[in-house]
Amino acid sequence: MSLKKHYLKNIIEVGTDEAGRGCLCGPVVAAAVIFPTNFEHPLLNDSKQLTEKQRKLLRPIIEENALAFGVSYISESKIDEINILQASILAMHKAIDSLAIIPEHIIVDGNKFNPYKNIPYTTIIKGDAKFMSIAAASVLAKTYRDNFMKKLDEEFPHYHWKQNKGYPTKQHRDAIQKYGVTIYHRKTFKLLPEQLKLDL
C-alpha cells in the first residue's frame, strides 16, 4: 500500500510521531514534519518497516525536502513524573512548537492526543504506515533517538544500548539485574519481570 500525501487537501498539514515509548531508559523523542504537496519518495515508510541503513539514508532526504520539521526530547525523569503517554504527547507538542511554519491541521500516529493550541487534529491508528508526513516523523524520531542512545552507551557500555537502544531485551534486562539501574532508567517502568534484586 502506498502512503498518502495528506489527510486533508489544500491546507498546511503536519504529521507527528514518537519513538521510544516502550523503552526502559532514555527519553521519548518525537518529530513533526510538514511536506510540500509534491513530495514523494519510494523508500519512505513506517520506520519499523525500514532497516537502520534505510532510515539513515532517508533522514537527510526528509530534512532537505520538508517545508519544516521539528524534533523534541522528553527526559526519563519527566516520563516518570507525568507517565509515558502524557510524555509522548508532550514531546509531539514540543516538536510542533519548534516548526518554522504554523500548521493548520495535525495528523497524529496512534489514538491519543491532547489539543494543541486551537489547531484541529486527527489521530490515526498505524498512521505511520498510511501517511507520508507521519512516516517521515517516525523516521526522524527513531534516528534521533537511536543516536542519543548510542551516546549514552559510551557512558554506560554494560547495558549495550548501542544495540538494544534501551528496549527491554534479555541482554538489557540481564545487565540491569547485574549492575542495577542508571540515572537514565525510567523508575516507574517494570525494569525486571519479577523486580527482584532491584533497589530503586
Residue 177 covered by a domain: no
Q: State the pTM of this model.
A: 0.94
Q: What is the pLDDT of residue 45?
A: 87
- 76-96 average pLDDT score: 98
- 116-134 average pLDDT score: 97
Residue 127 covered by a domain: yes
Residue 90 covered by a domain: yes
- 31-44 average pLDDT score: 94
Q: Which residues contact 145 (CB under 8 A, 6 or more apart)?
A: 19, 20, 26, 27, 28, 29, 165
Residue 69 covered by a domain: yes
In this structure, what C-alpha cell is assigned to residue 76? 526519563
Residue 118 covered by a domain: yes
- 86-102 average pLDDT score: 98
Backbone angles phi, psi at 118, to 5 degrees: -115, 25
Q: Is 139 buried (19+), middle (13-18) or exposed (0-12) by CB count in 10 A?
A: buried
Q: Range with the lowest mean pLDDT among 9-23, 74-88, 181-195?
A: 181-195
- Other CB atoms closer than 10 Å to residue 190's CB: what's the count? 11
Q: Which residue has the higher pLDDT, 12 or 194?
A: 12
CA separation (Å) from 166 to 22, 27, 157?
9, 10, 12
* Average pLDDT, rounded, for the chain: 95
Q: Residue 199 pLDDT more than 70?
A: no
* Domain hosting residue 123, numbered range: 13-150
Q: What is the pLDDT of residue 1?
A: 56
CA 7, CA 132: separation in Å to the nearest integer? 10
Residue 72 covered by a domain: yes
pLDDT band at 195 (very low <50, low <70, confident <90, very high): low
Residue 46 covered by a domain: yes
Residue 185 covered by a domain: no
Q: Over pLDDT 70: what percentage of the chain?
A: 96
Domain tally, the chain: 1
Q: Could you tell me the CATH number of the domain that includes residue 26?
A: 3.30.420.10
Nearest CA among 96, 91, 39, 29 for reference residue 62: 39
Q: What is the pLDDT of residue 48?
A: 87
